Amino acid sequence: MIKILFFNDLTSGLWKAEDVVGNMLEQGEFHSLEELSELMEEHPQARAYLSGEQVLLLDVDLPTKQARQIAKALPFALEEQLATDVDRNHILYLGRDNGRACAAVVEHALMEKVSEAMPLECLVPVPMALPLKKDEWTLYLTEDRAYLRTGPYSGLTCPSPAVSLFVDRQLPEDPSTVNLTVYTEDLDSHQLVIAQLENHGINVSSSEIDQVWTLLEDTTPKHVANLLVDSYKPVTPKKERKASFLAPIAGLAAAAFVLGVSINVWQGKMNSHLASEVKSASIGFYKQLFPNERIRNMKRQFQSKLKGSEGSVDTSGFTASLGLIGDALKSNKDFASIEFANIRFNEKKGGLDIDLTASSIAQLESYKKMLTNKGFAVEITSATNENSKIKGHIKVVQNG
């Protein structure tokens, strides 16, 4: 996983690489999109923060409270607040705050430049990733930029020397009700700005941080301010496959593994509902490949087809290994809670790409170790914490 902070020009910024549990591996700066693309070859999963004044966080009074109607009305309602034609802007509805509809606005040209340059999981404006506490504003100061968050869907970016003026425009009638926390990597160089803020009559506290990454909250594609929606939503391209005898063999191997795992999970966990669903899907897949055949014993028929396939590829050893992976779930109660979301056969590498959910990182590592001990080469390519569970992606290839 790599995290990216784009500076104002979009061609330079900061980056940080993390392992599957969020520990920092390395970090640095980039000075061109080409340099960043090379980094992403080593870390294909990328989440980014968009700095700069190009992203506007606006709000408008709309009578309706229905999200769909608000999203349709926003372009017309925000038109007077935009410096460019409304059709040139990408508008993301964020939510309602204090009775007003809030939105993030960025020009399509900028969105296209970013999305065409590299694949990203999410793209969030920096102000929307700053800490948010009840009845408190957050300000992050750099040498030349200031990032302010004033609410769940509101904030701004401006030059650091001008932040006092921008804060003054945001203040309520009674400034003493505002609590502002200032974060920076160099408090001494920002004492003048902090003094200007205090002159507004607001309550200012300050804190020095080591680096910006300790301040920005972790984002996911489900983040409310993720700009990669609608036409900018990441799409995994489907690779064209050449018509050959390898295609049905690969499909049969994947389907046989799905069936074997589902039956073993069904027997070991007594999860009849899951087994029924996967078994039905496997039956449908078999009928699609062999419409004129009667199904009697699914597992045996799949293996028979694999052994009888013409061609120079020997899949019997691989088929046996699929059974070992499934048997491991049945024989080891430590893996009983593992859930499989998606299993794909990688024809090019001759292995399996598996999406699964584990109860913890330790369980995922134990499952990897068990498969390794049974003669497989296993790589955990990603692991993210969602809803107190670990969603992981692993690659499994039989050694030898």
Query: Which has more pLDDT, 295 or 337?
Result: 337
**Fold match, 1-125+224-237 / 246-398:** no
| Sequence-ordered list of residues with C-beta below 8 angstroms from that of 233, at least 6 positions apart, any chain | none
**Quick check: 192 pLDDT over 90?**
yes
Averaged over 36-59, what is the pLDDT?
A: 85
**Residues 221, 224, 227, 229: what is their CA dihedral angle, to the nearest 10 degrees?**
70
Give the whole-number percent of the chain exceeding pLDDT 70.
Answer: 74
Arithmetic mean of pLDDT over the chain: 79
Query: Which has more pLDDT, 110 or 245?
Result: 110
Q: In which element (H, E) is residue 165 found?
A: helix 163-170
Q: Which pLDDT does position 127 carry in this prediction?
A: 94
Averaged over 208-229, what is the pLDDT?
A: 88
Query: Which has more pLDDT, 119 or 174?
Result: 174
Q: Which pLDDT does position 271 carry in this prediction?
A: 47
pLDDT band at 393 (very low <50, low <70, confident <90, very high): confident
**Quick check: 6 pLDDT over 90?**
no
The top-level CATH class assigned to 131-215 is alpha beta
**Quick check: 350 pLDDT over 50?**
yes
Query: Which has more pLDDT, 311 or 95?
Result: 95
pLDDT band at 200 (very low <50, low <70, confident <90, very high): very high
Q: Which pLDDT does position 250 carry in this prediction?
A: 58
Domain spans, the chain: 1-125+224-237, 131-215, 246-398
The domain 246-398 is placed in CATH, from the list 3.30.390.30, 3.30.1360.100, 1.20.1630.10, 3.30.420.40, at: 3.30.1360.100
Residue in the structure block whose two tokens are 């970013």: 114
Q: Which pLDDT does position 83 carry in this prediction?
A: 85
The closest alpha carbon to 350, from 291, 279, 399, belongs to 399
Which residues does residue 374 pair with via DSSP β-bridges, in sequence order? none
pLDDT band at 285 (very low <50, low <70, confident <90, very high): low
What is the CATH T-level fold of the domain 1-125+224-237, as seen in this structure?
Nucleotidyltransferase; domain 5 (3.30.420)
pLDDT band at 243 (very low <50, low <70, confident <90, very high): very low
Cα–Cα distance, 87 to 110 (Å, whole number): 14
Averaged over 297-315, what is the pLDDT?
A: 52
Q: Which pLDDT does position 182 carry in this prediction?
A: 95
Cα–Cα distance, 102 to 152 (Å, whole number): 9
**Quick check: 133 pLDDT over 90?**
no
187 touches 206 (CB < 8 A)? yes
